Structures are given as structure tokens and as C-alpha cells.
Structure 1
């Protein structure tokens, strides 16, 4: 069994203030991912001690003056890349579309390490994880936005209503889903939500991402869900976001834009629409549950037994971890739990 003491000591060494009071598991998750991000950055802010041997080497290469100079006007050494793909890192794709003239802003990409899903303010009956994901990518109306299309040759600039469309641009290897169970009352008090959310052992993300596909209707824009919708740049210049993806080799085969739905051919690019068959399916790896109220409580974790993580087993085993106590449990115990965080691994 691994002890978290060394992990906490490493975080404190990196100047994270972690007291002995109760902490939130989702906040700790982002502390870990941010720290890993800083330690594995391609161009670190501060030279790492791992680079000491490289700097002491008399044969070290230096960058040319036109690329970089230090504050003392000296040449900077070329250090080895310490880049590492973060397993929880994905991309969200969003686009704004004018409801008056149909002008669309370039697609914007934002990185994420977890998806935080809000429970509906009003009870909507039985809640499922798929339904909450659908709400997450639903369209949003935004008012008083300056529209380039409506403002052509006009002064002052015209402000109109836009529709903001969101979908998942790139799926991570490991998908972390956070169910926000804290809500605020009208009097400013916090309250914990105990809503039951049904989640599957196998999660299919096909309906929540965009894919490259040639569809007849090219006017509907970029959306999630099951509809056959498409976004294309054929009649306008490519956006900086698309160029960025091409530069990162996320979408090296796209010529006319990003589209929705899965292609009929196989490819090996990292972007969703070029993923091989089955690459959008995830298998439940662990579930984190919070016991208690909004002020105090205890976290427990359901996780797969290490013997069943790699490969397929006829008798899959689950474990319930509570501090140093680890006991066997059933899959029914896991699926009926009041999930706070869900962690899925790509199949």
C-alpha cells in the first residue's frame, strides 16, 4: 500500500500550504495536476536541478542570439525537453454565432483537467451522468456582443445576441468528472446536495465530442449531442485555433475546417474526429464519495483491484478505501454510491 505522506511532503516542498484540517479532494486533484504541469513544462520558468549535469557539460549547445538572451545579454543553453503528455488533459472547443447575421467567431480551445458538472437547481427526475454531460454542452445565449458581421461599414459597432456552443475538442486518456454538490441558498448559506446520479461502468463519449465528417448541412455550426452538425471554414479564413491544433499535430489532416461526427475511415491523429474505433469509450476506474455535510465529512474511494486494471478478467474485483482501511466491495456498491468524483480510463 502506498502512503500519501511523501506526496503531501512533495507538495509542501513546492510551497503549497496544506494544513492538517479537512481538505477537498477535487481541489487536491487540481493541486496535483498543476504541480505535475509545472514540473514537466516544456520550457520551465526556473531551471530545474535535473538540468545541473547538462549545464556543467562543456559541450552544451547554446541558442542563437536571435532566439533568446538572458538578462545579462548572455546566450541561453539549449536544455533537453522535459515535456510529458498529461493523462487528464483535454481540450474544450467553444464557438460564438450571431443570431442575426449568422457570423461565427473562430473556434476557441481551452484546456481542462476535469469536467465539473452542476446539479440542476430544480429536480428533473432521475439524473444520469449522460444527461448531465448533455446539459454541460448545451447552447448558451449571450447578449450585447459586438458582431463583426453586422457591423460591416457601420458606425457605431452593432451589438447583437450570440449563441455559445460548447463541445469537447480532445478527449484525455483519463477522464475526471466532478459532480458539484455544494449549492448556495438565498440567505448566503452553503448546502450540500444529496441527489442520486446514475453513472455507467462503461461511458461512451461519442455524443459529446466533434468529429471530422462531410455532412450536407454546413450551416448548423459546432454543437455536441447526437445531431449531425458541422462547422466549416470553407468560406472564410482558417482560425488561429485550427492553426494551433495543426501546429500541435492534433489535426494534421484537416484541410477545410473542423467537423462533427466520426469519419468512415481510420486515422491515428490525436484529435477526436480521427480517433480509431472505440477510442471514445471509457471504463470506470474509481469513484470518490464524500460522507457528511457541507461543513465536515470524510472521503472514501472505490477503486478497481490492481489485478483487474490491466486486461480483462472474468471476476472483476472492487475495493473500498477509507484512510488505511481497504475492504472488498461489489460493483453494485460502487454504482449505487453518491459519487463526488468519477475517474474513467480510456479503453
Structure 2
């Protein structure tokens, strides 16, 4: 129900809020020099997406931003962070978050004043470098950038929280007791890790947060190099039960010492936006890094009901469905190549797919999207 409301809210009103927030930031910092071919028009078309300039091996940044810009719930969350009342000092802490919001508003053609055919990420890159990230080295990775971006956003909103509360924090002070609780991103979920003692049956559960699930490919079978894989099967294999030896049992350790446990992973807390990373890089026996070219099938809808922790406990595997929003594809080999994105966008109230490669954008068909070789998949939970 909430998801339906947010989807309707985005299509009707949240876009307006997003662009107002971006405009406020734009006015505050002055006209940025980080866009090209900018035209200001009151009657611009809302059906055209903007491409992103490659600043020198920055396709891994561009492709991730296009994917995130296809997720309305994520954009709504960023807007909500920027709209919260704060002091001037706190507002200045959100430089990366604000730059991200501005960039996504422009490439989605939802900014009230900036209408760009091409836009660059220089301002966002500079804000990330202020947090200590090095984005000017050799080729980097879209998955690494995704993690880098979310780590930085977490740092900014937590720093903002401390300033708003008026607490002076020393760098060496333990801040765990003074940090205000911040609503987590729609990509934040929890893995439930259940351990069951095979001697006495004692069970314990631990929850670990994630923003993106990194799914390994099965060991390559040289006798059958053309095995067809699918995302549903890979996810099930990733969360499959396994035995773990030499574990201390709190219930029967007095008599048995370290014994064998059964470990079962499940999806504990479900994120609103689900990001899956297919681990295609592997090491050969000779110690060389190589890229797996396995064919991995995926669908427009993903049902994860059979790997949800509460479903498994109750034995009721009710469906939990996510809808595809974007696919990041890597073209090339392990040490070189290019990232592109297939992304979904609303056009005249209807969903339409686009292929984006830096500054180049064209329409695409769902059939073409589903034939791509996924490196990262972005899903959004259905109502």
C-alpha cells in the first residue's frame, strides 16, 4: 500500500518536490560549470533523458547514476533528506547528496531551470574526493562506486544529525551513543544468518545489513562451459544452507566443546530497492584475473518469497515480487572495457526502456534488455 502511494506520489507530485530541492541547492551555490549544452526553457519536453559526459574513464560513474535515477523510491528518499530542516552548517555537510540530487534531476529532465542534452559529473566527483575517495586513477568499477556513494551519503547524513543536535564531537570520541537515528536508504536490507547446532538443536540468528547483494557464480565446469544460469537460481544458491565446523555452542559447549552447525542465510529485512551484483571477476589457477562470460538469464519480475526468513519460518512461501528498473552491463574484459545501462523511465505515463552509454542515449525494447549480460540489476519492490 505504501509503495503504491509512493509510486503515485512520484508520478504526480514527488517530481515537483525533487526539482524544487535541486533548484534550492542550485541557487545556493550559484550556476555550476558542470554541464554542457545547457538550455533554459519553460516548455521543454519531459520525455528526453540527458547523457553524461565521460570525464576520462568515468563510465563506471555514469552508468551507476543512470541506474539510480531510474529508481523513484530512491529519488524520493534523497529528496526527503534534503528537505529536512537543518542548520546552515548541517546543510553544507550534504554536498555529495545535493550534487547527486541535482545530477539525477537533470538527467531525468526534471530540473526546473536546467535542460541539458549533456551533463557532466565534475561537481559530484569533487564532492566525493573531499571525502577521501580517489576517482582519477585507472579504470574502476560500477559496483565499487555504488558502495562508495552509499558510504559517503551515510557519512553526510550522520554528520548532519550530529550538527543538528548541537553536539560537539571529537574525532577520537566514541560516537555510538550520540548519533541520532537516521532513516536508512531504500536499498538497505538485512541478511538473517541462522545457526543451528546439529548436536542439541539450539538456534541463534544474526542480522547483517547490506545495500547490495554480491552474488557469486558457481565454479566453472570446463566440461560444460555453456551452462545457462538464472538470477533466481543464483540467489537461491547464495542463500543455501551449509555446514560450519568448529563453532562454540552456548547451549551444549560444556560437554561437547566446538561442534558442527548448520548455517542458513535468508532475507531478513527486505529493502524497497534491491540491487544484485553478479560477481563476474575470477582468478585462474595461474593467478590471473579473468572475467566470466556466463549467460545469466533474468526476468522483468523477481520473486524472492522462497528466500525470505519469516516465510521459511512459517512454511508459507507467499510471493514477494520486485520489478526491474535498470541493468548495468560491462562490455570487455576484466582489466578493461566499458559500462552501459539499460534503464526504465516513465514517458507520457507509460514505462519505456532506454539504452545509455555516457552521452549516447536511445530507446530500447524489453526483449533487448532481457538479452543483455547483467553485471548489476536494480529492482524495486511491487505493491
What is the CA distance between 1:9 and its match in structure 2?
1.7
What is the CA distance between 1:150 and its match in structure 2?
2.9
State how far apart, in whole Å, the 2-side matches of 1:290 and 1:150 are: 49
| Alignment map for 1:128-139 (pairs within 5 Å) | 128-139=230-241
What is the CA distance between 1:23 and its match in structure 2?
1.2
What is the CA distance between 1:88 and its match in structure 2?
0.6
CA contact (8 A) 2:161 2:179 kept: no
State how far apart, in whole Å, the 1-side matches of 2:278 and 2:359 are: 25
Match of 2:140 among 14, 20, 23: 23
State how far apart, in whole Å, the 1-side matches of 2:202 and 2:183 are: 38
State the match for 1:261 in structure 2: 316
What is the CA distance between 1:211 and its match in structure 2?
2.1
| Alignment map for 1:290-305 (pairs within 5 Å) | 290-305=330-345
TM-score by length of 2: 0.61
1:328 aligns with 2:368: no
Structure 1 unmatched ranges of 5 or more: 56-61, 63-68, 213-228, 231-258, 264-277
CA contact (8 A) 2:243 2:263 kept: yes
State how far apart, in whole Å, the 2-side matches of 1:169 and 1:82 are: 20
RMSD: 2.7
What is the CA distance between 1:185 and its match in structure 2?
0.9
State the match for 2:374 in structure 1: 339
1:113 aligns with 2:211: yes
Structure 2 unmatched ranges of 5 or more: 1-49, 51-106, 108-119
Match of 1:91 among 159, 174, 190: 190
Equivalent residues, number: 255
> Relative to structure 1, is the Cα distance of residues 281 and 70 closer, same or farther in structure 2, using a 3 angstrom cutoff?
closer
CA contact (8 A) 1:40 1:84 kept: no
What is the CA distance between 1:189 and its match in structure 2?
0.8
State the match for 1:307 in structure 2: 347
Q: Secondary structure at the match of 2:146?
A: helix
TM-score by length of 1: 0.67
State how far apart, in whole Å, the 1-side matches of 2:257 and 2:154 are: 41
State the match for 1:251 in structure 2: none
Q: Say which structure, 1 or 2, has more relative contact order (CA 8 Å, 6+ apart).
A: 2
Q: Secondary structure at the match of 2:251?
A: coil
Give the number of the structure whose residues are more often helix, by fraction: 2
Which protein has the larger Cα radius of gyration, Structure 1 or Structure 2?
1
